[in-house]
Copies of this chain bind each other. A is one copy, B any other.
Amino acid sequence: MGPRYLMYGDISTKAAHMLSLPKVSDFFTRLIQRVSPKSYQQAFGEVYVTQKFLENFCGDQVRFLARSFAVPGNHLGQQSHGFRWPYGPVAIITPFNFPLEIPVLQLMGALYMGNKPVLKVDSKVSIVMEQMLRLLHTCGLPVEDVDFINSDGKTMNKLLLEMILDHEVVLNLQANPRMTLFTGSSRVAEKLALDLRGRVKLEDAGFDWKILGPDVHQEDYTAWVCDQDAYACSGQKCSAQSLLFMHENWSKTSLLSKLKDLAERRKLTDLTIGPVLTVTTDSMLEHVNKLLEIPGSKLLFGGRPLEDHSIPSIYGAIKPTAVYVPLEEIMKDNNFELVTRNIRTLSVVLDALERMHNHLTAAVVSNDPLFVQEVIGKTVNGTTYAGLRARTTGAPQNHWFGPAGDPRGAGIGTPEAIKLVWSCHREVIYDFGPVSKNWEIPPST
């Protein structure tokens, strides 16, 4: 495997350099914008994170991922080695909201660890990855190392099942994926887990919360982070802030009015607000109205369709919207499910916090160590940000991003994520002897 690790170090070096060239990064940024509605800055963010990720695996860093460990055995000549071993054939299925970053990071992770991946990207946006694969081929990626499939989800599901079923009958078929990485909706994730009998790693959509703690600092900064977390990419990041719990100390501040001002400066022309690809306008407005039926709830801002646009009606198009719901109401069972229905362009502002379950990301905005400690200790959440600069979105390549609390949960991007998702433990015990010269056959046991 030695030369293969070095080849991938070289591919990463070259591809990272290509993405650092302004004309290349501009090309991919604009290509992303063509298929996934987000601002230039947000689209460029994907390209930048992808470049930085590739820089992380230049030179020898791919082979360093394959670092193993060894422990002395029970006698001279015995030593046990723990390796991270590739699965062999694997599959990768990625969504529409990050057309470049998610597939590149997962694909390269799979390749770095020695797997043979088949890749399927949401067909609405797969042109981005198609172009990126050409760039990677130019940088030295052998064409036979990656199979790239363009299909709808159903076809892919059928294909995976056939490969798996084949696996039962024809043991030698190389193509059956021993592991499938899926990033996307929880519904499809659960179906895949069933179909593939758990041979999956999943990063499904979150319903992500933020808590503003009792210590009030930096109003402007906090409002700005809330606006970005909730409304950037029209709230279609899997890490978008969907629920904001606010300590009563914050209600004395002008945070909400600042948040309203920030949300209202978003506009279609620069795609700081844009179409929602998976829910219609009517469906979102209906959800807002249902929330407003909860006693004590009120519309903070938004709640109306976008105007003067040519967005097709199969997509959603509403203004950045926030609904206030009293905490005591949200805790009632029937409301809880309603409030936590994952329609991402809505943000619900509450007074306090409770009933938090496994979600993808979370934020605890507080510099009080005891408050932070309590919230983190009592939740089993994925990537969690804490401190006065806490956010829910904008995860870079330098820290793990992914859910927690589920053995099927996947991470993305860091050396730890790559090793855990794209390899398994294999133990080899070398036991070369010698056998003592006085050794005699002992009794059977």
Q: Which residues of A contact B (CB under 8 A)?
A: 1-3, 5-6, 9, 13, 16-17, 20, 39-42, 45, 52-56, 58-61, 63-64, 66-78, 80-82, 85-88, 171-172, 178-179, 190, 193-194, 196-201, 217-218, 220-221, 224, 227-228, 231-232, 262, 265-266, 272, 355, 357, 367-370, 372-373, 376-377, 380-391, 396-402, 404-409, 411, 414-417, 420, 424-435, 439, 441-442, 444-445
Contacts and interface: CB of A to CB of B under 8 A. Distances in A.
A424 B445 contact: no
Contacts of A196: 198
Contacts of A88: 380, 405
Given A63-B71, A384-B429, A411-B427, 4 more contacts: A66-B71, A369-B430, A384-B427, A387-B433
A220 B424 contact: no
A63 B396 CA distance: 14
A402 to B, nearest CB: 7
Contact of A262 (B2, B399, B433, B444): B444
Contact of A72 (B66, B86, B368, B428): B66
B2 A76 contact: yes
Given A171-B357, A199-B198, A442-B224, A178 B406 contact: yes
Contacts of A194: 194, 197-198
Copies of this chain, complex-wide, total: 4
A40 to B, nearest CB: 8
30 contacts: A1-B76, A2-B72, A2-B73, A2-B76, A39-B444, A41-B445, A52-B60, A55-B60, A56-B64, A63-B72, A63-B398, A67-B70, A87-B406, A87-B407, A197-B198, A199-B408, A200-B407, A232-B444, A265-B444, A367-B369, A367-B432, A383-B429, A385-B429, A389-B433, A390-B431, A404-B424, A404-B425, A409-B425, A411-B425, A420-B425
A417 to B, nearest CB: 8
Contacts of A427: 382-384, 399-402, 411
Given A77-B370, A196-B198, A406 B424 contact: yes
Given A88-B380, A198-B199, A198-B408, A369 B415 contact: no
A52 B59 contact: yes
Nearest to A51: B59
A71 B398 contact: yes
A384 B428 contact: yes
Contacts of A71: 60, 63-64, 66-68, 398-399
A382 B416 CA distance: 21
B55 A431 contact: no
Given A178-B405, A408-B198, A388 B435 contact: yes
A192 to B, nearest CB: 9
Nearest to A170: B333
- Residue picked from A376, A390, A402, A425, most chain B C-beta under 10 Å: A425
Contacts of A40: 445
A407 B74 contact: no
Contacts of A433: 217-218, 367, 370, 387-389
Contacts of A190: 197
Contacts of A368: 367
A97 B367 CA distance: 40
Contacts of A198: 193-194, 196-200, 407-408
Nearest to A86: B380
Nearest to A53: B59
Contact of A81 (B70, B369, B377, B396): B70
Given A386-B430, A397-B60, A74 B406 contact: no
Given A386-B429, A400-B425, A445 B17 contact: no
A384 to B, nearest CB: 5
Contacts of A445: 39-42, 45, 228, 232, 272
